[in-house]
Structure 1
């Protein structure tokens, strides 16, 4: 039986940035955190043609379950899907009301703009291609990873490990993050 309150959901959709989705899922699992990969479809073709077999589809992620965190890897097409999906919006609104963690990578911080989810004073980063979108609504910071309360964002594929380690420090602890960093020669 899955303990949802100790589970992180990583969302993937057509066009998801492979590196971001795989790195965050793998690193969290190395930290002993349960990860469910939720996909738009039963098979996802990512931005560079890699195929994903998600554990469940979006609709199997239930609004009334308390997940530890919800993570949205980037990829412009995937971000577009996340920004225009009624079930994702409902999940995010409920999750944020609970003050739970939401992570958005690369182009996916656009979800905060699309659904008007957090106060305009919230600090965040994104891929430089959407900086103009984020900075119109939020406190944009040109940093690899930005943590503001329960919101964590990163700039893109190259910052995926930094994002993963920041998340592990929040969800587990810095000792576990340091052990994993040493194990993978980071």
Structure 2
């Protein structure tokens, strides 16, 4: 059974099947068959060579994650050119719909201060936002868990990485002032001399 449903970010899409898989809505969709123009010879063709299923994440639907299984057709022209049908909601070989990118990634960028704060210091609304976007991206969830683990380690060790960050900053300044170095050992000697490791630095410069 095929039906045209109004789904946020999707227009004139045929929904062939709706399932619930592991707490997520799985929508099997396709678009009506058309007669596209060949990008090579600019002629109209309607011959379908084959099709494949493209899986992508979409906006939440009724506060549940939505996964789209899009049946994408591949057309073939009389000139021999093969090309996929174009849609307004997904690019080729992408794993997220355009609406997911335009809404959620902008939203994540605006609320990055929530990810910077410690989880124990978040209020109820911020904690809800954090859990929402961590559930949308496994990479984002892993990065946040690593950040929390590093913060806990620094709290336990009663130390800071400020000294190391200062060394990194001085090293970058030296690279900019010199407009680059041809040899790594010269750069290393310059770093050691600048950071007051004179004995090691002099030993390296004498060897050079």
Same fold (TM over 0.5): no
> Please, what TM-score do these two structures have when normalized by structure 2?
0.22
> Please, what TM-score do these two structures have when normalized by structure 1?
0.24
Give 1 or 2 for the bigger CA radius of gyration. 2
Of structures 1 and 2, the one scoring higher in RCO (CA 8 A, sep 6+) is 1
